[in-house]
A and B are shown apart, each in its own frame.
Chain A
Amino acid sequence: MGIAFDSAPDRPEHIEAILNGLDRYNPETTTIFQDYVTQQCEDRTYDCYANLALLKLYQFNPHLTRDEPVTNILVKALTLARLNARLERCAYRDFWDLLDSDDLYADLVADVNGFEELMRVRIAVTVGQGCRAVERPVAEGWLNLRGQDFEAFVREICGWGVDDGGGGGGGRVVVPVNKENEAKGTVVREEVRFEQFGRVVRRAYEQPA
């Protein structure tokens, strides 16, 4: 958490050099950035700062714009408008329904290696922050996985438990307690610093009026 948006651990040096200089506005660097986007799609890395620089080049030089990198960047950044709106609303079931509704979406995300899994991980992070336990059907809907696939993802990737509910109901997913989902009440206590007493102390040294 709290990682600066402009840092990317896997950023190659030549990209770093372009980003830090005026070449980031140079239309000739467009192809370099494009290749870099392709590479990110393949090896599941993400460099927001570099991708924004490419989008800016496109914005300034509309004639250079190519749909494919743009789509890939947007898919990577989850800003395909309609899909993103559903994610933002945490309407995960709707998100998957929309994604599956049209081959168009499948085409759009095709270049991004492991798109669905990356989405699931992202959704799981949010769910893990907000929940301690989720009924299995609800969680299945959110992650768009059923049966063994579901159990494997929840246990292995998320590290959560699956409780089969004694065979009666649908069972539930148990999320171990973490800092975000414990929801512990706190009392904010007043913090007193010595400087606040500066005037009083100064006064003590002054002559009585």
Chain B
Amino acid sequence: MALYQRAPYETANRQDLVEDESDREEEALVEDYKEQVHFDDGMSELDRTASFGGAAAGGGPQDMQAQLAAAATPLEYGAALDTKFASYDNYCNLFHYILNSEGPVDLEVPTYYWAWDVIDEFIYQFESFCRYRNRIARTESTSEEAQLLRDNPNTWGCYSVLNVLYSLIQRSQINEQLDAMKRNEDPNQVAGEYGNRPLYRMLGYFSIIGLLRVHCLLGDFSLALKTLDDIELNKKAMFARVMAAHFTTYYYVGFSYMMMRRYADAIRMFSHILVYVSRTKNFQKNAQYDSVSKKNDQMYGLIAICVAFNPTKLDDTIHTALREKYGDQLVRLQRGGPEALPLFEDLFRSACPKFISPTPPDFDTPDLNVDPVDHHCKIFMEEVKNTMWSPTVKSYLKLYTTMDLKKLAGFLDVEPEKLRSWLLVNKQRSRQVRWSEGALLDGEVVNGSDLDYAMQDDLIHISEAKVGRRLVDWYLRNLARTY
């Protein structure tokens, strides 16, 4: 297990970080996944016997089984509004039964993944319902459907969804359990009569990840990350057992970091999971992989954005894939300037989560309803515009150890006052909070750039952080050849 424990990163040496992680974890990852696939096979056999047993026992359990299966199954594409309403009612009934029966309920869940699937599908339907409602309000606010939506403002309401997730977390005492595990104590001591059961524990656990996702969809990125306070992101984590959960967690954590301008942390998240996927894709034989593949592309888009903001040496696998996917675009993103703006916007739109608004739209004044994706895209683009000159300024600064501000302003063809502002902006942005240990929101402010400078009146003093020669890797690799 020591293989999985992450080395402390306090050296803030990025190259080191990426290579180490991939090297040490490579074999472990693959082994772990093989085990998972195997494990899955074992489980599905068990399930089959279980459901035979259920059928023999009569109608009741079978109905329940059908309901459980339905809760984890996606709705048909373009399902009618009635179906969406009905599905909401089904979820309400099911969660009500699980949460508010007298004492914990005994349920035979259809698959090992059921708890994840049901939370995932529940949030997905919530998300798509909100977006659908918003679109109807903007484009066909007088239609029959609009009227129906207007009459049922609480269906798929934000409060109900959060209520379900928070209640599942509380019932299962999952945060207390995780906290105990962190302190190497027995989680069962604090689990309570609900949390001791796998059903509640799993639902509670995946509700935390669901909450991460919902907060992120609502644009509250810091609260999203705070939600994961009790979960340690490593291979021992429970989510790592379910590929889709593993993947989802890293996507939303990475995205939240990116929106908080903690690019180094975002890159670390995306790199980790993309390496994992690329190393395990040969074992991916089930349908899960399809959903993973789209998010995979999105994360490559996001990592391209982050690298443009915060030049970083990436893991070789990712670097190669990124060049194959984006090639020329990547160069343009990194060059910055006004030409890069549409590229940033396109990439962001294709890779961001589908943001939602928590309240029903205003059906009377369709124009007031802004698409939440547009809103977040606008905020993001402000930051892109704000820093778009940084690459150009940096490329000049790299050539000198001292430079006159007015002279540089002349090269760049801008007012000295403006250049002074750019330099201050760039200086501020080079200081980023970076995680080293503890909760996801923790971190130290470090200089993430290899270039640093200070202004003395109109004289800019420039310094560079040089990376010394790296010999150990080379030495070890050659040594290995002689075995």
* A residues neighboring B (CB under 8 Å): 1-2, 4-6, 22, 25, 49, 52, 56, 59-60, 62, 85, 88-93, 126-127, 129-135, 138, 172, 180-193, 195-197, 199-200, 203
Contacts and interface: CB of A to CB of B under 8 A. Distances in A.
B184 interface: no
B63 interface: no
A1 B444 contact: yes
A6 B13 CA distance: 28
B31 interface: no
A130 B418 CA distance: 15
A6 B463 contact: no
B359 A91 contact: no
Interface residues of B, number: 61
A131 B421 contact: no
Given A4-B442, A200-B479, A59 B425 contact: no
Contact of B428 (A62, A126, A138, A186): A126
B297 to A, nearest CB: 31
Nearest to B480: A199
B445 A188 contact: no
21 contacts: A2-B442, A2-B444, A6-B222, A52-B222, A59-B358, A60-B358, A85-B382, A88-B382, A88-B383, A89-B421, A91-B421, A130-B423, A130-B453, A135-B457, A138-B420, A172-B457, A183-B463, A185-B465, A188-B468, A199-B480, A200-B479
B57 interface: no
Interface stretch (B73-81, B107-115, B469-477): B469-477
Contacts of B453: 130, 183
A126 B457 contact: no
Interface string B261-297: 0000000000000000000000000000000000000
A76 B373 CA distance: 26
Contacts of A25: 159, 162
Contacts of A187: 465-468
Main secondary structure of the interface of B (DSSP, over half): mixed
Given A1-B445, A90-B428, A190-B468, A133 B483 contact: no
Given A22-B166, A89-B386, A191-B11, A6 B441 contact: yes
A135 B454 contact: no
Contacts of A138: 417, 420
A59 B13 contact: no
Contacts of A127: 424
A93 to B, nearest CB: 7
Interface of B: 7, 11, 13, 16, 24, 158-159, 162, 166, 170, 218, 220, 222-223, 226, 358-359, 382-383, 386, 417-418, 420-425, 427-428, 431, 433, 439, 441-445, 452-458, 461-472, 476, 479-480, 483
A2 B476 CA distance: 37
Main secondary structure of the interface of A (DSSP, over half): mixed
Given A90-B420, A132-B461, A180-B427, 13 more contacts: A1-B445, A2-B445, A4-B439, A56-B223, A90-B428, A126-B424, A131-B454, A132-B455, A133-B456, A135-B458, A185-B466, A186-B465, A187-B468
Nearest to B470: A190
A191 B13 contact: yes
- Which A-B residue pairs are the 4 nearest by beta carbons? A185-B463, A90-B424, A90-B421, A181-B454
A182 B422 CA distance: 19
Most buried by B among A49, A92, A196: A196
A2 B433 contact: yes
Given A52-B220, A89-B386, A200-B476, A129 B428 contact: yes
Contact of A132 (B222, B442, B456): B456
A22 to B, nearest CB: 6
Contact of A93 (B162, B417, B428, B431): B417
Contacts of B16: 190-191
Nearest to B472: A192
Most buried by B among A25, A90, A126, A203: A90
Contacts of A60: 158-159, 358-359
Contacts of B456: 131-133
Nearest to B423: A130
Contacts of B222: 5-6, 49, 52
B268 to A, nearest CB: 17
Contacts of B218: 59
B382 A183 contact: no
Contacts of A92: 421
B413 to A, nearest CB: 18
A189 B11 CA distance: 10
A62 B153 CA distance: 13
Given A127-B424, A189-B468, A134 B480 contact: no
A130 B454 contact: yes
A40 B382 CA distance: 29
A18 B469 CA distance: 53
A190 B421 contact: no
B3 to A, nearest CB: 10
Nearest to B219: A59
Given A5-B222, A59-B358, A133-B457, A183 B462 contact: yes
A4 B24 CA distance: 31
Given A60-B159, A129-B431, A190-B471, A182 B457 contact: no
